[in-house]
A and B are shown apart, each in its own frame.
Chain A
Amino acid sequence: MHSHPDLTSSVIQGLGAFYLVLFLMNAIYTYFSFKKGGHSKFLERLTGQEIPAAAMWALYSAFLLMIAVAHLTSTSSPNAFLFKLPEWVKYYVDVIVADPVSFSVLSVVLFALMILLREWWVKPVVAWILLNVSVIALGLSMTDWDFRQIVGKPDNVPIVAMLFIVGFFTWLYFRRAIENDKRIDEGRDVFEKEDNEKILVWPDLVYTELMCMVILTVILVAWGILLHAPLEEPGSAVKTPNPSKAPWYFLGLQEMLVYYDPWLAGVVFPSVILVGLMAIPYIDFNKGGNGYYSFKERWFAISTFLFGFLPLWVAMIILGTFLRGPNWNMFGPFEYWDVHKLEVLYNVNLSEYFWLYSPEWTPWVGAMPVAPPDASLPQQARIIFLREAPGFIAVIVYLAVLPPLMAMTLFRTYFLRMGFLRFMVFSNLLLMMLALPIKMVLRWAFNLKYIIAIPEWFINV
């Protein structure tokens, strides 16, 4: 479809440097593995022999070095170069990722696995292997022209870095939390309490701060030299770019626009997010886990927050930045951003489902009420409310009936400890947070457009 080269010699050189860094990281890891000793249980089962873990890492590092050298010294034509992502892999990745349904399912499944398998993946070896896999996947993906176009945009580089950084800190959190959970189970002090004497700020803290500042300055200057800040054509009010995107940190909100109208996605929900964040200390009555990492003592609070931050915020930013192309259509990471890609959307309002498609066994429903063109305002209002009654009922049930039900069932203990007002705030915030995934599912499953549709007054829910 397009004739851009997947590989050029400068890309190959760049990847050579990339693999060289990965080699160095693994060489250091090999060294530590060697100092620590020990052998791989997995390989022992496989071969019946005690093979030192460090030997395997040394082998792997040597392999990376060879790959790096092969890239750096390559003289063959880029077209014939061997190390690149096979087309069939790209094809399947595109199919899976370029669809909001499978993307969201994937991110929720990964989230659930992250929590369920936490004891497994916090092991340093596992985490290191996962890191290597994702770095190599990134490197291989860079051999694709379309992927480079979008990931290599200067403004998008920090987002790629953020992914790794967020991953690292999430790992660090779980590692510390699991350690403390074990200690609490055994009746020992948490890690933060042990070895916690008073120390002087000078020199301990002051030098840490100084080192942080020096390292950060170096990073910022190097980053500034290596990567130019973007500057596109001069602004022009008549040339609308397609797609037009908000700054990257707001792309989660822009993604919400697919499912909710601007008054909700752009005004009400952001305000609710902020009020909800500020309300956290006042609705979390749990005294546990204050001042140390833990999971078990506050698993509900932590899981809810992680759900809001990882799949609903970070993953939506990824989706909005890397996968939304012209006309806000979804594209796979290896797919060409074709302006003419067509996605037929035929979405239906709840009221239309109710009045127009009411099945035979509900003959009492009748025809959809329509206001005559010369109706007075109260008349019009009555007809609109009647027309949208199913939606109003659904929303009222969701926000007003569900909280008491929650209080009586699943969240009984919460209700008793929080009291009425706090529980209502808590449950409404929780339901608002779930409103996005719920609307997504409704859209995908039933092509539902609006639950309440009053375009006459700009009130669409």
Chain B
Amino acid sequence: MSVGDYIRESQIWKSIFRHPAPHDRRNRVVVMLTNFFLHLHPVSVKKQGIALSYTWCMGGITFFLFLVETITGVLLMFYYRPTLEWAFNDIRSLRDVTTLGIMREIHRWGAHAMVITVWLHMYRVFLTGSYKPPREFNWVVGVLLLVLTLLLSFTGYLLPWDQLAIWAITVGSNMARATPFLGSEGPGFQLLNVGGFDLITSASDARFLLLGARDVGESTLNRFYILHCVAIPLVVAGLIAIHFWRVRKDGGISQPL
């Protein structure tokens, strides 16, 4: 008996994998139904629906990149401290001394790649007309995922706390100052005024809400850290679940009628 067979025959292995590697039709059906991860998929699909030249696998790749970002991100969280004192130094030591500091590289390139693949996924969904009934709502969920993907990337951009980071966030968040009614330099903010006092000032406007201060500073770092590592990923994970569920409920990947 080979080592492989020995392992596959053991009680431990069998308790984990309820089924041997499937080689016939019946078992290939059963494996899809009895494996937690595989049961995300249907048992059988139309051939063209999963052809690479049709879906470009872009949704799947985006999801995979999301998982890569989650795993590398958690590993980075063991090292990184989101304070003015440590943020930059922690990133620098990830680059210079830390074993497996390459996690930062993978995390950053994975983030760029995810932005690109989510665009391409949308591109393919549009070009195949897959947003048409009955898939309208899943497209809307998709647009939300697109925004959140960009926001994930944006909030993460600040964390290295180098010149690139703080000025990109400064430029990006300056826009919030111009929010109509809610920005201290936006049209109509004077209307929110009680007894001669402006409710909207640079210490209470939309930008302040985002940054936690008048300028990009320590409270911004804290806010972006929480948004980046906890709040947005949770929402994205929830929306992805809905997205996948809807793909199945809407009749699988789109097909010519």
| A residues at B contact (CB < 8 Å) | 155, 158, 161-162, 165-166, 169, 172-173, 176-177, 189-193, 195-206, 208-209, 212-213, 216-217, 220-221, 223-225, 227-237, 239-241, 244-247, 249-250, 253-254, 261-263, 265-268, 274, 277-278, 280-282, 284, 286-294, 298, 302, 305, 309, 457-459
Chain A to chain B contacts (Cβ below 8 Å), 16 pairs:
A169-B120, A196-B255, A201-B32, A230-B164, A232-B162, A235-B166, A237-B216, A245-B168, A249-B153, A262-B177, A262-B178, A266-B174, A291-B255, A292-B255, A459-B187, A459-B188
| Chain A residues near B29 (CB-CB < 8 A) | 200
How many pairs of residues, A versus B, come closer than 8 Å at their CB atoms?
263
Are A457 and B188 in contact, with the CB atoms below 8 A? yes
Within 8 A of A (CB), among B12-29: 22, 25, 28-29
Q: Residue among B57, B165, B167, B172 with the most chain A CB within 10 A?
A: B167
A287 touching B132 in the complex, CB below 8 Å, given contacts A196-B255, A220-B109 = yes
Are B47 and A172 in contact, with the CB atoms below 8 A? no
Are A266 and B31 in contact, with the CB atoms below 8 A? no
| Chain A residues near B187 (CB-CB < 8 A) | 263, 457-459
Within 8 A of A (CB), among B145-176: 146-147, 150, 153-154, 157, 160-168, 170-172, 174-176
Q: Is B48 interfacial (CB-CB < 8 Å)?
A: yes
A220-B106, A230-B164, A290-B133 are known; give 15 further A-B pairs, CB within 8 A. A158-B109, A158-B112, A196-B48, A200-B44, A202-B22, A212-B60, A216-B68, A227-B109, A235-B88, A236-B163, A245-B167, A289-B128, A291-B128, A305-B126, A459-B187
| Chain B residues near A247 (CB-CB < 8 A) | 153-154, 157, 168, 172
Are B171 and A169 in contact, with the CB atoms below 8 A? no
Give, as a whole number of angstroms, the nearest-CB distance from B240 to chain A.
Answer: 15
Q: Is B257 interfacial (CB-CB < 8 Å)?
A: yes
Give, as a whole number of angstroms, the nearest-CB distance from B110 to chain A.
Answer: 6
| Chain A residues near B119 (CB-CB < 8 A) | 309
Interface residue from B38, B50, B56 paired with A169 (Cβ < 8 Å): B56
Q: Is B226 interfacial (CB-CB < 8 Å)?
A: no
Are A249 and B32 in contact, with the CB atoms below 8 A? no
Are B120 and A209 in contact, with the CB atoms below 8 A? no
| Chain B residues near A197 (CB-CB < 8 A) | 46-47
Give, as a whole number of angstroms, the nearest-CB distance from B156 to chain A.
Answer: 9
Are B255 and A250 in contact, with the CB atoms below 8 A? no
A229 touching B109 in the complex, CB below 8 Å, given contacts A250-B172, A268-B180, A281-B139 = yes
| Chain A residues near B230 (CB-CB < 8 A) | none
Are B129 and A289 in contact, with the CB atoms below 8 A? yes
Are B162 and A458 in contact, with the CB atoms below 8 A? no
A216 to B146, CA, bound (A): 21
Are A162 and B116 in contact, with the CB atoms below 8 A? yes
Of all chain B residues, the one with the shortest Cβ separation from A292 is B256
| Chain A residues near B204 (CB-CB < 8 A) | none
Are A165 and B120 in contact, with the CB atoms below 8 A? yes
A51 to B160, CA, bound (A): 58
A225 to B95, CA, bound (A): 11
Q: Is B52 interfacial (CB-CB < 8 Å)?
A: yes
Give, as a whole number of angstroms, the nearest-CB distance from A143 to chain B.
Answer: 26
Are A281 and B120 in contact, with the CB atoms below 8 A? no
Are A205 and B175 in contact, with the CB atoms below 8 A? no
Q: Is B211 interfacial (CB-CB < 8 Å)?
A: no
A12 to B135, CA, bound (A): 52
Are B123 and A309 in contact, with the CB atoms below 8 A? yes
Q: Is B102 interfacial (CB-CB < 8 Å)?
A: yes
Are A266 and B105 in contact, with the CB atoms below 8 A? no
Within 8 A of A (CB), among B205-219: 215-217
Nearest 3 A/B pairs, CB to CB: A266-B175, A224-B105, A281-B136
Interface residue from A204, A220, A229 paired with B68 (Cβ < 8 Å): A220
Give, as a whole number of angstroms, the nearest-CB distance from B180 to chain A.
Answer: 6
Are B132 and A235 in contact, with the CB atoms below 8 A? no
Interface residue from B112, B164, B216 paired with A232 (Cβ < 8 Å): B164
Of all chain B residues, the one with the shortest Cβ separation from A289 is B129
| Chain B residues near A241 (CB-CB < 8 A) | 163, 167
A263 touching B257 in the complex, CB below 8 Å, given contacts A195-B47, A198-B45 = no
Q: Residue among B44, B135, B171, B179 with the most chain A CB within 10 A?
A: B171
Are A224 and B109 in contact, with the CB atoms below 8 A? yes
A284 to B91, CA, bound (A): 47
A265 to B189, CA, bound (A): 18
| Chain A residues near B112 (CB-CB < 8 A) | 155, 158
| Chain B residues near A195 (CB-CB < 8 A) | 47-48
Interface residue from B64, B147, B162 paired with A274 (Cβ < 8 Å): B147
Q: Is B81 interfacial (CB-CB < 8 Å)?
A: no
A254 to B50, CA, bound (A): 38
Interface residue from B53, B166, B180 paired with A267 (Cβ < 8 Å): B180
A205 touching B50 in the complex, CB below 8 Å, given contacts A229-B95, A309-B123 = yes
Give, as a whole number of angstroms, the nearest-CB distance from B82 to chain A.
Answer: 13
A261 to B139, CA, bound (A): 30
Are A240 and B167 in contact, with the CB atoms below 8 A? yes
Give, as a whole number of angstroms, the nearest-CB distance from A55 to chain B.
Answer: 30
Interface residue from A202, A234, A266 paired with B162 (Cβ < 8 Å): A234
A458 to B95, CA, bound (A): 45
A197 to B47, CA, bound (A): 6
A239 to B187, CA, bound (A): 30
